[in-house]
Structure 1
Amino acid sequence: MSRSTKLTLDIVLGAVVPVLILSYASRPLGSVAAYILAALVPVAWVFIDLLFITRRFNAITAFTGAGALVSGLLAFWFVDGALFALKDTAGIVLSLLIFAITMLAGRPLIKYFVVQALDPDTPERAAALDALIAERRVQRAFMAGTLVVVAVYAVLAVVNFYLNLNTVVAPFGSEEFNQQVARVNAITRIAFPLPSIIAISASIWLAYRALYMLLPSEEGKSQFESNFWRLVELRDAGPNT
């Protein structure tokens, strides 16, 4: 599946379809049934993607799967008012906690994102990358990047809670409740992924920058024009190569 097709399906099944179900299916299906269906469609899509399309288990898929599992379980917690605002914010808070706890434990999640992206495909490359990652400069970059991500998720959590608290005011099980949830979802499910993607991308860039600062350059090329593993080989070979 091409990236453009995958992105389109992510948007359609993760945002558009749930909003349409909440907006137009509450009367024919019943408000509660429509609410559950709208909540489970994006969850089902995540697991279909992980199990049948991506078919890989790594830090990124584990992070995505954990978020989907929590969303699926919370779909059956029928609440309104402040509890609903808290429930709808739980996924963002979970992401924040995962990044924060892994950082405090000295194993920042960003590290595993970077390792997955660089894909050390031999024991020698894995050992060389481990040595680079152990450098203090790289560890500081992981910590700084994680702080950026945690800060962004904290802001998103506050905004999401506020939006739900002030928009979703009808009682659960009513058609009006579903309409109000659809209104919030139309904003958050489209707008919120962007700052989180930017934050994670920025944190990965900080890590890459720290890694490249430890590597030599090929003559006549900037470091980013060279293959990462070629530069690692030059570093390991020493200054006489």
Structure 2
Amino acid sequence: MKQSTKLFLDLGFGAVLPILVLNFLTPSDPATPTFGWITTPIAYVISALIPVAWVAIDLLFITRKFNFITSYIGLGAIINGALAFWFVDGLLYALKDNATLLVTTLLFAISALLGQPVFRFFFAQAVAPDTPAREASLAKLLREPDIPQKLLIATWLVVLANILVGVINFFLNLNIVTADFGTTEFNQQVAYVNGLTRVILPIPNLLVVGWGFWTVYREIFRHLPSEPDKPQLESDFWELMRLREQ
């Protein structure tokens, strides 16, 4: 699947379709279910489970790869799926909407404190060492001076970005989603705040993660040789590793 198609589907199933469900399947009168069976709570649950179902379909039938990154994504989907059935409003809803972000932030922070920053696993997954010899070579490279520090800095920056996004998301939910759960107004307010948070708030994280990857890559490639008449970043990573070990 093309990356642009995948991005379009992620946005559609992760943000757009859930909002449409909340707006168009929520009954205007709670006493009259849409299509005779979709009550206000059911519309909320359907909306919440659409992104979860999409992640499951993606991992099981499209990507079909189980590694650190897909496990990380799958963990978030499991948490969101379980929380879809925790029917709360007000302060508890604002906390609930931050639960997955809180777990992933703790994961990043604990990994950094233990000296095994998540960015190390992200980079390893990106270059995909496919033999024990390559795994050993990569582990040796990642112990070179300054590389562990850059991996830690990138990981802590994601932690800080997540905290900032979490605080903004919490107060947006707390101030916008004020109706009682099970009412039409509640679903409408959730749809509105999701339109803000699901599209806008990921941008700071993407920028920080992108900057982190660029910083890590630049430092790592500083420890690798170059091929003649070829920009270093255009070379195959494992070819440069082979040249390094000659």
The TM-score bracket by the shorter chain reads over 0.9
Where does the alignment leave 5 or more consecutive residues of structure 1 unmatched? Answer: none
Q: What's the counterpart of residue 17 of structure 1?
A: 17
**What CA deviation, in whole Å up to 9, does each residue of 1:7-60 have, x standing for no partner?**
111111111111011111110121100001100010010011011111111111
Root mean square deviation of aligned Cα: 1.2
- Picking from 201, 208, 218, the partner of 1:199 is 208
Q: Structure 2: how far apart are the matches of 1:25 and 1:136? A: 57
Higher share of residues assigned helix: 1
Percent of aligned pairs with the same amino acid: 48
Q: Structure 2: how far apart are the matches of 1:8 and 1:216? A: 38
Q: How does 1:94-109 map to 2 (within 5 A)?
A: 94-109=103-118
Is contact 1:59–1:109 with CA below 8 Å preserved after alignment? Answer: no
What TM-score does the superposition give when structure 2 sets the normalisation length? 0.92
Secondary structure at the counterpart of residue 88 of structure 2: coil
- Picking from 128, 142, 145, the partner of 1:133 is 142
Q: What's the counterpart of residue 157 of structure 1?
A: 166
Secondary structure at the counterpart of residue 130 of structure 2: coil
Q: Structure 2: how far apart are the matches of 1:198 and 1:78? A: 33
Q: What's the counterpart of residue 92 of structure 2?
A: 83
Q: How does 1:215-230 map to 2 (within 5 A)?
A: 215-230=224-239
Where does the alignment leave 5 or more consecutive residues of structure 2 unmatched? Answer: 28-33
Runs of 4+ in 1 over 3 A off after TM superposition: 219-222
The residue identity in structure 2 corresponding to 1:40 is: L
**What CA deviation, in whole Å up to 9, does each residue of 1:131-172 have, x standing for no partner?**
001223111011000011111101100000010000000011
Q: Structure 2: how far apart are the matches of 1:11 and 1:99? A: 24
Matched residue count:
237
Secondary structure at the counterpart of residue 219 of structure 2: helix
**What CA deviation, in whole Å up to 9, does each residue of 1:186-233 have, x standing for no partner?**
111111222222222222222211211111223333322322222212
Is contact 1:170–1:176 with CA below 8 Å preserved after alignment? Answer: yes
Q: Structure 1: how far apart are the matches of 2:232 and 2:135? A: 20
Q: What's the counterpart of residue 188 of structure 1?
A: 197
Shift of 1:114: 0.4
Is contact 1:84–1:164 with CA below 8 Å preserved after alignment? Answer: yes
Q: Structure 2: how far apart are the matches of 1:222 and 1:53? A: 33
